Amino acid sequence: MNFDLGPDQRDAAAGARDFFRGSASPAAARAALEGGPVEPGHEALAAIGFLGITVPESAGGAGAGLLDLAVVAEQGGAVLAGPSLVTAARAAVLLGEHPDLAARLADGSARFAVVDGPVTGSAPSIDAAGATLFLGLDGGALVVGEGEATAGPPMDATRGLASVRLTSRRVLAEDAGELWARARQVAAVVLAAEDLGAADRAVQLAVGYAQQREAFGRRIGSYQAVKHLLVDAWVGVDQLRSLVWWAAWAADAAAAELPLAASAAKASAAEVLERAAETCIQVHGGIGFTWEHDAHLYWRRAKVDRLLLGDAAEHLDAVARLAVAGALG
């Protein structure tokens, strides 16, 4: 048994942290709510190679595993980066048999989005706003096409959510239900990884404040009502990290475990990030409720992400069904 990151993954995570800290921030996420660009943005992510991490080398990608991508995604989540690596990971699975398109995903020459729901009018889908090529499931077939995206007023502008109506479509694969399901599980793992990074950061912010702020002659972190709130949020993050790593590892090395692991990670991520973000606001008091403070940007991420790619109820149901069907062994 060796349940830890390897040296290469640690290096990749450290490099990704530097990159994301230099190119994205909660401040940028705030500005995006007022019409600013999403940072680091599609071109920068393509340039550093993050869009092709799981694309095969023959198609111009890095040919690495989902775990390698997840540790990078976690760092993006910590600073609320966009577009999401969810899209890159999911499209890479869907384009496994289409190296020409996968190459355009990896080099960024096409901006892909994967749309959920009917292609004639999809559910709000990640990074659909601004995408140039859409992948969807149409009557069991995997299709690619152009489309029109319609977005509502953003709760979290970094997610690029929009509903899509395809204006053209070409079938990439008939009977693509299984492929589609696997791609969605992979997407759920990456979303959970981004949520892990965001939750970890929200807890750090709150802990840092609780170490400094004084009330009634004591630092507020010395009060158990505050301390225990923070500990519970931190324990959640620590537990979520285990599920994310396991699920990402399963995608690479134990395909049979992926459906259960992905749903477990996604269900947990929804609740852990929500608790971390709400704790972050609460521990900050009034300042935490201001536009200028970063806390609400993590809260926005939490409130949106928990509903994307299936909410906790859907994934808990999936976990129960799989467990009952024998997936625990």
Partner 1 sequence: MDFDDTPDEAAYRAAVRTLLEEHAAELLHVAPGGEAVDARTHEAGLRRTQRVLAEAGLVGITWPREHGGQGGTLVQQAIVTQELARAGVPTLINHIGLGMCGPTVIAHGSDDQKRRYLARLLRADDVWCQLFSEPASGSDLAALRTTAVRDGDEWVVNGQKVWTTLAHVADLGILLTRTDPDRPKHAGLTMFVVDMHAPGVTVRPLRQMVGSAGFNEVFFDEVRIPDEERLGEPGEGWRVAITTLMNERVTIGGAGSDLGVPVERLAALARERLPHLDAERQVLARQAVGRAVVASLAARYTGYRRFTVLSQGGLPGPEASAGKLAGTAAAKLVADAGVRLLGDDAVYAATADGDATWQRSQGYLPGLAIAGGTDQVLRNILGERVLGLPPEPRSDKDAPFAGGRR
Dist CA 56 CA 40 (whole Å) = 24
DSSP state of 118: -
Applying CB under 8 A, does 243 fall inside the site for partner 1?
yes
The minimum distance between CB 186 and partner 1, in angstroms, equals 17
Applying CB under 8 A, does 210 fall inside the site for partner 1?
yes
Applying CB under 8 A, does 264 fall inside the site for partner 1?
yes
The minimum distance between CB 73 and partner 1, in angstroms, equals 16
| 290 three-class SS | coil
- If the CB atoms of residues 14 and 231 are measured against partner 1, the closer one turns out to be 231
- If the CB atoms of residues 172 and 192 are measured against partner 1, the closer one turns out to be 192
The minimum distance between CB 183 and partner 1, in angstroms, equals 22
What is the number of other CB atoms lying within 10 angstroms of the CB of residue 109?
Answer: 11
Phi and psi at residue 142, to the nearest 5°:
-80, 125
The minimum distance between CB 202 and partner 1, in angstroms, equals 13
What residues form DSSP beta bridges with 147? 166
Binding residues for partner 1, total number by CB under 8 A = 51
Tell me whether strands 141-145 and 170-173 are parallel, antiparallel or unpaired.
antiparallel
Applying CB under 8 A, does 3 fall inside the site for partner 1?
yes
The minimum distance between CB 241 and partner 1, in angstroms, equals 8
CB 165 within 8 A of CB 121: yes
- If the CB atoms of residues 131 and 189 are measured against partner 1, the closer one turns out to be 189
Dist CA 188 CA 87 (whole Å) = 10
Applying CB under 8 A, does 215 fall inside the site for partner 1?
no
Applying CB under 8 A, does 230 fall inside the site for partner 1?
yes
- If the CB atoms of residues 235 and 287 are measured against partner 1, the closer one turns out to be 235
Applying CB under 8 A, does 329 fall inside the site for partner 1?
yes
- If the CB atoms of residues 106 and 251 are measured against partner 1, the closer one turns out to be 251
Applying CB under 8 A, does 10 fall inside the site for partner 1?
no
The minimum distance between CB 197 and partner 1, in angstroms, equals 17
Applying CB under 8 A, does 232 fall inside the site for partner 1?
yes
CB 213 within 8 A of CB 219: yes
Applying CB under 8 A, does 228 fall inside the site for partner 1?
yes
Applying CB under 8 A, does 293 fall inside the site for partner 1?
no
Applying CB under 8 A, does 227 fall inside the site for partner 1?
yes
The minimum distance between CB 61 and partner 1, in angstroms, equals 21
What single string gives the DSSP state of each residue in 8-40? HHHHHHHHHHHHHHHH--HHHHHHHHTTPPPSB
Residue 195, classified by CB atoms within 10 Å of its CB into exposed (0-12), middle (13-18) or buried (19+), is: buried
SS3 per-residue string spanning 131-145: CCEEEEEECCEEEEE
Dist CA 161 CA 100 (whole Å) = 26
What residues form DSSP beta bridges with 298? none
Q: Mark 160-179 with x for binding to partner 1 (rule: CB under 8 A) and - for no binding.
A: --------------------
Applying CB under 8 A, does 286 fall inside the site for partner 1?
no
Applying CB under 8 A, does 231 fall inside the site for partner 1?
yes
Q: At what angle do helices 295-305 and 177-212 cross, to 10 degrees?
A: 160
CB 303 within 8 A of CB 276: no
List contacts with partner 1 (CB under 8 A): 1-6, 67, 207, 210-211, 218-219, 221-224, 226-228, 230-232, 234-235, 238-243, 245-246, 249, 253, 261, 264, 267-268, 313, 315-321, 323-324, 326, 328-329
